[in-house]
Amino acid sequence: MDSFIRSILNASRAKKRIITLCIDSLFIVLAFWLALVVRLDSLEPLKQAQNWVLLTLLTPVSLYAFISLGLYRAVLRYMNSQAIWAIVLGTVITTVSLVLLAFFMGVDIPRTMPFIFAWLCLLTVGGARVLVRALIGKMTTSKKESVIIYGAGSAGRQLATALGAGPEYFVSAFIDDDVTKHGSIIQGIPVVEFKGIYELINKRKASKVLLALPSETRARRKEILAQLEPLAIKVLSIPGMADVVEGKAKLSEISDVGVEDLLGRDPVTPKPDLMAANIASKVVMVTGAGGSIGSELCRQIIKQKPTKLILFEQSEFALYAIEKELCEYIINNNLEIELVPIMGSVQRINRIETVMMAFGVQTVYHAAAYKHVPLVEHNVVEGVRNNVFGTYYTAKAAVNAGVENFVLISTDKAVRPTNVMGATKRMAELVLQGLAQEQGSKHKTRFCMVRFGNVLGSSGSVVPLFRRQIKEGGPITLTHPDITRFFMTIPEAAQLVIQAGAMGKGGDVFVLDMGDPVKIKDLASKMVRLSGLSVKTDTNPHGDIEIKCTGLRPGEKLFEELLIGDNVGETIHERIMTANEVMLPLSELNVFIEALDIACHNFDHQAIRQLLLDAPTGFNPTDGICDLVWNAKKQLPLDSDEKVVSLKTS
């Protein structure tokens, strides 16, 4: 039977219409004779020729009416109220035609016969379509994956409609917190309370839960995810309403649950005056414009309508990608902003100073830096050159070019650093604090720095790594079971950086409120369980995904901090604080800078380390010197000096 139905379904559209016309003709004939036989309780009408003539004329009239009303243009599996009205109106026209034809032809039919005929037409022509639609629906849904939608609001209903028309999912139930909806049926789908999910899962009527709660707060979404986490079911989400409104996503798009929902921390609405203060109608420059933070800063900056935005980036492809994206945004929103893509390194002061002077830069956001802890440990000289001297040269160029505002993107790893990356970022802070002491007497540039923790989705973030490892079947690798980190979304971090920069008076160290620290192992476990899988442990040896600890990497801390001391002040923004940190006068700082420059030039890693220890950085390394080149050179035989290029020059 299924094969017969499928052969009809796979036929061409013209053949389907011919078959439907033939079947409807048969229904009209049957309805006519049944109406007469039932009314007269006799088969005599079949013997009367005039009845056959009447039926012969009635059938084409009826079919023409149905055709004119568009009944045969409607696709059965998507039949809606328009098709139903076409059947009703076509039946009325057919019945009226029957009465008129019988009257003018002088055919004697019972007065109640047309009413019986009309009901039989509705039951056969309409009922057949309902039956076929149900059969098709059963056949198609049998191959679809059964899912539950959490949220029976407008977003949930739109999602159910979209999924019903697609080939992948079949919605078996809605779950909603509104008790007034429990037990009701929406779009043919029952609404059940949360405890009903257990029965659906046990009966294998659901394999996934789709969160249709785009307008809910992250705190509420976190609560719901905590309820769903113990269940052996995969949890997916639809985009937030803000992304839908901005055109970044559609309600029908389904994706993995965002980690920001797991954190349960709602972003604070940015203050418009602070966002625009250093940007609106000004020439703005972003170094490291192609990076995770730099690119998001650029996206936030163009919304504040600067006159020019200078994209300064070392990577050709990264510069191309962000310029293309921003150009499209500017064109689509009819903005009058000049984009200037500049390739260059922050380690070349002449290049960056010339750029600043040529375009009259007024505000600089310095995001260019090497931030990956193990890589900087393995490439110490480049880390120092980029993070310390890159900041120093960019800041000096800003002073010489008369830049009004300079904002450094710092990190929580600059607090009591245990690695070279953190120590170099703390040195970069000291550079700006030293230059800030001369503000007013020797220059007018306002320097400030903003310190925050990890951002979700940035390059090198653990979240994309965990998703890939779960998709591949594991194991998930993390360095230590007790390791914790602060997390924030990239857009929120960029907005807070801009707002903090607007509050700077000179030499300020701003610290962003990152919320509570997150245990990375707990984060990994939640991601596994919300993927519908279980964590493989000693108590659960048959679990799906194993979490392996590989040991702390060089320079890696178990716990990150945002403040060196407890001396913290408030600002006008609830998520931004100020830290009072130790600083060096510029004259003393220059001694360190000069010595560090010589040590880098000579590839003297021992001297570099000692200088970082002597400076007021709080540097407390947990490992020895891990530079790959330095260690490789140490392993060379003493008599091989003539066969290799000396790394140390006079």
Catalytic residues: 413
Residue 28 near residue 121, CB atoms below 8 Å = yes
b/e map 159-185, b = 16+ CB within 10 Å: bbebbbeeeebbbbbbbbeeeebbeee
DSSP characters over 110-123: -TTHHHHHHHHHII
Sign of the dihedral through C-alpha 104, 106, 107, 112: positive
Residue 218 near residue 263, CB atoms below 8 Å = yes
To the nearest 10 degrees (0 to 180), the angle between helices 81-105 and 113-121 is 150
Residues 6+ apart with CB under 8 A from 113: 35, 36, 39
Residue 213 near residue 221, CB atoms below 8 Å = yes
Residue 106 near residue 66, CB atoms below 8 Å = no
Residues 6+ apart with CB under 8 A from 622: 418, 419, 552, 554, 555, 556, 557
Residue 152 near residue 179, CB atoms below 8 Å = no
Cα separations in angstroms, 266 against 48, 241, 249, 250, 529: 81, 14, 20, 21, 23
Pairing of strands 283-287, 255-256: unpaired
Residue 309 near residue 359, CB atoms below 8 Å = no
Closest CA to 604 of 646, 554, 637, 553: 646
Pairing of strands 405-411, 487-489: unpaired
**Residue tagged 């059963």 (tokens):** 138
How far apart are the C-alpha atoms of 319 and 298, rounded to whole Å?
A: 11
3-class SS at 436?
helix
Pairing of strands 446-452, 484-485: unpaired
Cα Rg of the chain, angstroms: 36
Cα separations in angstroms, 35 against 42, 70, 111: 11, 26, 11
Pairing of strands 189-192, 185-186: antiparallel
Backbone angles phi, psi at 272, to 5 degrees: -55, -40
Closest CA to 99 of 89, 38, 107: 107
